[in-house]
Chain A
Amino acid sequence: MSKVKVAFFDFACCEGCQLQVANMGELLIDILDKIEIVEFREVMSEKSEDYDVAIVEGSITTPHCLERIMKIRSIAKVLIAYGSCATIGGVNGMKNQFEMDDIARSVYGDDAHFFPTRPTRAIDQVVPVDYYVHGCPIYLPELVKVLTHALAGIPYRVPDSAVCVECKLNENVCVYERGVSCLGPVTRGGCNSWCINNGNVCYGCRGMVTNPADNAQRDVLTKYDISLDWVENKMMMYNKAKDAKEA
């Protein structure tokens, strides 16, 4: 059986997710047993327009990006969006709070007209996506799982329960007890709470659960004397893109 051809692409992003893949170490060897990477800018110079699976990082922010992703979608049989920028718009989404002209001018000054910009969109806001690997950066074990599912032709279901579930399974002391706020309660899990396992808080990078308990969350914040504004600010970091109106 010939190996599945896989190509990696990136759009507006920090390339951190690609770096995670490049840093996989031994696991990469097992994966390379099953797939043939035909394009991956981060690690090789070869390119290809013949691939079965496209693994895409980054958000769509310019007309040129839009053209590129549509072409990729037309070639690939399977499209995997990985990293928050690709799956939910990520930090790039913060741009959407502003008028495009204003923000372009603020960044580029008088040269703004050289850099046409559109409201940030997650990949699935412009083309159909078959698999999602959430996170900023991705949690490598999840990427391997998703890839395995994709290769086997099985859908991958992202858990719709809060990060708190995994965090408690890992027997962490809840960071709220330390008077710090954490977006775990409204963020979907699947990352094994790895940020909290390592002493940090949850930044909500995987996106919100489908049914967040807004009122309850507000009560909790009041209880711990954390202002709602501050938390909404934190939420904005990753979860703003989907507010974008059609450009």
Chain B
Amino acid sequence: MSKLYVLKKDRLPDFVSALSNRRRVVAPVAKGESSFAYEEVTASDPIALKHIPTILPPKKFFMPQVETIQRFDMARKQWEPVIDSCPDTVILGVHTCDLAGIDCLNQAMGSDPQDVNYAAKRENILLVAVECTEYCDKYASCAVMGNHTTDAPHDVMFTEINGAYAVQANSEAGDALLQESGLGLLTEAEGEDQTRLDDLRTQKDAIFTPELDANLGDLRNLLVESFDSEVWDDIGDRCLSCGNCTNVCPTCYCFDVKDELDLTLTAGVRNRVWDSCQNEEFALVAGGENFRKQRGARQRHRYMKKLNFALSRFDRFFCTGCGRCTRTCMADISLKDTLNALASEHHASKLAKMSPYQVMAGTIHRTRKMTDLEMYFEIELEGFDLDYEPGQFVMISLPGIGEAPISISSSPHKKGAFELVIRKAGVLTTALHQLQPGATVGIRGPYGRGFPVKELEGKDLVLIGGGCGNIPLHSLIDTCMHEREKFGKIDILLGCRTPKSMLFTDEYDGWRSRPNVNMAMTVDVADEAWSGHIGLITALIPDLQVDPETTHAVVVGPPAMYKFVIQELKKRNIPDEQIILSLERHMKCGVGKCGHCQIGELYCCQDGPVFSYAEIKNKYEAL
């Protein structure tokens, strides 16, 4: 392990000056409003060590955009290879993702027979890397590719700690470079510097988290199984074939070979020029057959090359997670979104082939007692998000005991785990209340038609929750609060038996503080501390300011509540279609088969549990 040094930030120009005494120094400089590019720099140039990935990656130094590889002179019947080297160069400020990129190219160009043009430049280039301590921007997917840190070859590593750089050589050449150019500028690190560096690196594991829904290990298989996916057609519609994605990719190395005659008409050069599989003619053969005519097919090929074929040829992924392809794409074709779309489609198709009664394993992350009867559970399914809408429910199982429908209380914007609040009411729920974090439960779902969130956008809302109706209602309230600007005035009316049986009380202040949100609460039986309303929830309705045209009411509560609440809402002239209810029934299957939840000809588990009053007012036994 090489010695750790410290370079004060204000000494960086001197370091660059010392470096440039013997070498060409290239570093990222700002271009335009938010772009960077590697250019040759001197000490006085403004170097942007902190930068988002450059327009073109460092590969342009190893493999120039246009490079002569052969000279010919037919008058003398001669062909002559041209192997251009480059001046001794230090590339300063290479991110770890780009180090990985260079490593990939080293492998590709080093494969038998070796590309000597590449090698000639590689041996003259030293890499002084800069470690990122936070994400460059939202386009990066370095963590999932394992490139937020790296063991790819480099000569020196800079890490920013507390107004200075920790500097450490990673190779003999790096050591020599520091000896030669760091004299008088680098100080030996103290013990606490090493500690700070170690801490920083530990922190990185928390900051850089896998950016994809799929695991790295599943990616290859995902691509193989998604060959015919419509995701590629969609991308093909959006793609302009401008070639940007491949030009900016640190690991793309496809090239065209073009001869150029000079005016002697007998002599000239043969050039290697960056090419792109995205070009219309890349896979065109004489005779007119084009093996990748569709744009979607070409994009698919690019993904395949980086995440599937590279594994076969080079035993590693060729995507570094630098985010350049997404960043530069005018059509906003995003690597992450595409892979996530494939994963989600793949998962959905797996689900579709599954039995509707197949139980999935979920792990309880957290539990919290909310009231005497209700307990909060945070549950995560193994390997994927539940992907639900507010108002839907799951069937929760404990093997040997049984299964029951439970409304989801969280809002879908919460990724990963979802939340249930379960009232202790029978054998199963009592058993659930005994569970500790880490326990496994069975989950089926999500089922049912949720709240019509899109229709509610732009409207004034009256959200009425009685008793444990507040649980599914919470999913909707949380959704509205998360995207507050999408909804109009919000009135929340909550009713409970006693103050101690109120749910989500720690969130009330937060809701009330949002613009144009009113809350009113009532209990059946008060305690000494209670200063609010006592009595039926219907009593809170006359006080509301409602405009019947724009107001939608959402009502969830015990069966007895609905008739009376609806009566009050009708007195305020709210149309039947604008009164939304979530009904509760006995359910055993959740998929419209077992017959228990039938209302008229409707199944509460599939056609509901959310209904508009207009839909069910004439159904027998609905309310």
Contact = CB atoms under 8 A, between A and B. Distances in A.
A34 B264 CA distance: 8
B328 A168 contact: yes
Contacts of A245: none
Interface string B239-268: 111111001100000000000111101000
Q: Which of B37, B243, B262, B295 has the most CB of A within 10 A?
A: B243
A31 B262 CA distance: 10
A174 B328 contact: yes
A36 to B, nearest CB: 14
Interface stretch (B27-35, B102-110, B484-492): B27-35
Contacts of A215: 237-238
B31 A173 contact: yes
Interface in A197-247: 209-211, 213, 215-217, 219-220, 223
A33 B265 CA distance: 11
B240 A165 contact: no
A217 B240 contact: yes
A161 B279 contact: yes
B230 interface: no
Contacts of B238: 215-216, 219
B68 to A, nearest CB: 15
A154 B32 CA distance: 41
| Residue in A145, A162, A217 whose Cβ sees the most chain B Cβ within 10 Å | A162
A42 interface: no
Nearest to B279: A161
A216 B65 contact: no
B276 interface: yes
A152 B65 CA distance: 27
Most buried by B among A152, A164, A165: A165
Contacts of A31: 263
B265 A151 contact: yes
Interface in B254-291: 260-263, 265, 274, 276, 279-281
Contact of B265 (A34, A168, A176, A185): A34
Contacts of B240: 162, 164, 185-186, 213, 216-217, 220
B265 A152 contact: yes
A30 interface: yes
A67 interface: no
A77 interface: no
Contacts of B241: 161-162, 209, 211, 213
Nearest to B273: A169
Contact of B276 (A30, A34, A161): A161
Contacts of B263: 30-31, 33-34, 144, 148, 151
A34 B295 CA distance: 43
A101 to B, nearest CB: 40
A12 B35 CA distance: 43
A165 B247 contact: yes
A51 B274 CA distance: 39
A171 interface: yes
Which residue of A30, A145, A168, A213 has the most chain B CB atoms within 10 A of its CB atom?
A: A168
Nearest to B237: A215
Contacts of A149: 261
B549 interface: no
Interface in B543-584: none
Nearest to A164: B242
Nearest to A192: B66
A160 interface: yes
Contacts of B279: 160-161, 165
B100 to A, nearest CB: 21
Interface string B30-60: 0111110100000000000000000110001
B330 A171 contact: no
Nearest to A151: B265
Contacts of A102: none
A209 B331 CA distance: 18
B239 A213 contact: yes
A-B pairs with lowest CB-CB distance, top 4: A173-B32, A164-B242, A165-B243, A168-B247
Given A165-B279, A172-B55, 10 more contacts: A34-B263, A161-B241, A165-B276, A168-B247, A169-B56, A177-B35, A211-B241, A213-B295, A220-B330, A223-B330
